[in-house]
Amino acid sequence: MLNFKHAQSNKTLGLKWNPCTDEFTFEHNINEQAKNADKQITKRSLLSDMSKLYDPLGWLSPVTVKAKILFQHIWTINRNNWDEPLPATLQKEWLQFRSDMSHIEQIKILRWIGDMNSNVELHGFSDASEKAMSCVIYCKTTDVTGNIVIRMVAAKTKLAPLNKSVSLPRLELCAAQLLALLMKKVIESIDKPDVTKHGWTDSMVVLGWLQVDTSRWKTFVANRVREIVETMPASCWGHTRSEDNAADCASRGLSPSQLSSHALWWQGPTWLKTDENKTEKYTPEIKPPQLEMKTTKVASAMQTSS
């Protein structure tokens, strides 16, 4: 029989598992460089700091996306020189962020996500801002006594392109695509292909695109809608209010101190435990948007005989 009472934590690149409590925690050494107060922050050192945070399942996505956004901004103003000190304002911003990183060590994540023999649902949320796209998936298990357990499974972020011509509805669609891809991987991992899955977005435009045959949309939208519905058909998708969209935390970013106790991110919206939002999933009037609709030219010919 295994005895974990005196077992030590197992660590992989800063991600620790405590076998006694069956919890994951994070350890970081980003602040090691801060001991040298005279050291200038460069693009190289900033990227080195970012790479020290190991988060394979995206649990810290609201924090890591803030670092990614800052690095993207730095890249636009300094493309070539990796060892030139950053402007004072950017150095100050990064030093504040880095000093706040100690709060991630307060985060504890239970490894057990629920009894897979119970009723299992996967709820995914997607969102986009002008700076980033994000998605997050929660596992909801309900046992025979009605006890409900909500656990975050995984999350993912992607920076928005610097090309400002990409509209926000398109970014929201790309976030939904990101969710569909992550949902596919999660389903494969838990080995329950028949699991009930739900997708939630606060974009009515995206819901409208998903409800209509792809032949009506321009190439950009059609290709992504086609890929989304292969994993998550239109019937899986519903509308949620922006304030209940957990993915919003990772599309805009949170500081480490905010993330450590952020209930929406770790547990999802409160209605996940009450099912009160399921009626809203089907009630909004979703009309096919005119945006991105393919225009078709029709030519007709008439032949007459004299």
| pLDDT at residue 155, rounded to an integer | 98
159 Cβ contact list (under 8 Å, min separation 6): 65, 68, 69, 72, 131, 132, 133
Q: How many residues does the chain have?
A: 306
Under-70 pLDDT residues of the chain = 1-9, 11-12, 29-38, 80, 275-302, 304-306
pLDDT digits (tens, 9 = 90+) for 15-24: 888 888 888 8
| pLDDT at residue 4, rounded to an integer | 44
| pLDDT at residue 267, rounded to an integer | 94
| pLDDT at residue 287, rounded to an integer | 62
Please list the residues that pair with 3 across neighbouring strands: none
How many C-beta atoms surround the C-beta of residue 212 within 10 A?
A: 17
Q: Give CA–CA dist 215/223, Å, rounded.
A: 10
CB half-sphere exposure, 53, CA atoms < 13 A: 25
| pLDDT at residue 139, rounded to an integer | 95
Q: How far is CA 192 from the centre of its chain?
A: 22
Q: Give CA–CA dist 289/204, Å, rounded.
A: 9
Give which of 187, 192, 172 is closest to 232, Cα–Cα: 187
| pLDDT at residue 40, rounded to an integer | 82
Which domains are delineated in the chain? 10-106 (no CATH), 113-273 (3.10.20.370)
| pLDDT at residue 279, rounded to an integer | 44
Helix, strand, coil in percent for the chain, rounding step 5: 40, 20, 40
Please list the residues that pair with 17 across neighbouring strands: 10, 24
Contacts 24+ apart (CB under 8 A), 19-24: 21/108, 22/110, 22/111, 22/112, 23/108, 23/109, 23/110, 23/111, 24/59, 24/108, 24/109, 24/110, 24/111
| pLDDT at residue 269, rounded to an integer | 95
| pLDDT at residue 299, rounded to an integer | 58
Q: Give CA–CA dist 227/232, Å, rounded.
A: 9
Three-class SS of residue 280? coil
| pLDDT at residue 238, rounded to an integer | 94
